[in-house]
Structure 1
């Protein structure tokens, strides 16, 4: 450290004390910087590991998306087949309903005749 130039000189012991204090402060700063760098190194190692795990996860995600892309056409084909089956079942039900209508009328007529015959037989 240089003299302040005010014409007064500091005693040598005070200058040594000031220089010693400055050296201790510098040493403490170096220790703090080393600790910070050590922590930063650990953080970078952890971040690198996390990024590696993220890469693995993204690879699995990509494989899953690819599987879904491959599965989609098969699902569409299956839905089309199911729609055809449903259309056939609906046609069968319509035929059954068309047949059941006249049969119900015949059944009602037969019941009516049987009912009349029973009433006449009681008289």
Structure 2
């Protein structure tokens, strides 16, 4: 017989109770693990759907970026043409201001003379 090292010797019914309790604890633990695994499975399915949606979204985003890249040279050309138009309009405005300046000075002188005539005549 083996030396038990001072531990009390268990009887048959005590051993059966201990084994039954251990089996019940193991059963509860297995149920808890099953529940966790089911939840994890659902989470992984949702993650898989989200990843698929993300892939579709990234493909659309990539297509949009490619379209923008294709438009960039044309937009650059439009900007260059607009800058040319603005430069020409600025020149036209400058010429117009130069032409109008003597007319504005003449108008101002005439208004001043008319105002003086009105004041002196009392009109």
Q: Under TM normalisation by the shorter chain, which class is it? A: 0.7 to 0.9
Give unpaired runs (5+ residues) of structure 1.
none
Q: 2:83 matched to 1:65?
A: no
Distance 1:13 1:92, change over 3 A: same
TM-score, normalization: structure 1? 0.75
Give the 5 Å matches for 1:4-23: 5=4, 6=6, 8-23=8-23
In the alignment, which residue of structure 2 is the partner of 1:97?
97
TM-score (norm 2): 0.75
The structure, 1 or 2, with the larger RCO (C-alpha pairs under 8 Å, 6+ apart) is 1
Q: How many residues align?
A: 113
* 1:34 counterpart = 2:28: no
> Does the alignment pair 1:43 with 2:43?
yes
Hey, which bits of structure 1, 4+ residues long, moved more than 6 A?
A: none
Structure 2: any 5+ residue segments left out of the alignment? Answer: none
Query: RMSD between aligned alpha carbons?
Result: 2.8
